[in-house]
Amino acid sequence: QWDFSTIQTVDPWGTEVGRRFRGGLRRWNMTVQWWLAAYVHSRGPRRYPLLRNAWTMLASAYWHGLHGGQHLAFLSVPLWLAAEAAAEAALGARFGVPLERLGGWRGSLLRGGQWFLKMRAFEYLSVGFVLRGAGPTLRFWASVHFCLHLLPL
């Protein structure tokens, strides 16, 4: 009845190689992701995905503990999710096909760029987990001019 997928926490291949920010989140801490999706995200306002994602990330931040840096990182996630969705929609409208079906060098370049940005965003946001405190996290982000908060805006 039970198998490894019941308790599998991380899909390293999907987390590291997947090109989408949302996909990377879903493949990290998968049991908690499932719980958050089933009991928090699904109850958020469907008409307002940004608020729904923020609600879910706030619950996740609380789940992880009362550390200001982690809360800042989690509450920055909806910005990246919204930017990714908007960029994919704009590119789909521009090229007439979804990004995953766009062929040739343009498709490869855009998908590679998306992966590159996802990895940089994960690194940038992970500072909140490493430093834990809101003050040190904000000082670091200020030292790089909040570049990965401004980029998705």
- Residues with a catalytic annotation lie at 64
Number of H helices, E strands in the chain: 9, 0
Q: Which residues contact 98 (CB under 8 A, 6 or more apart)?
A: 88, 92
Q: At what angle do helices 49-64 and 30-39 cross, to 10 degrees?
A: 130
From CA 86, how far away is CA 91, in angstroms rounded? 9
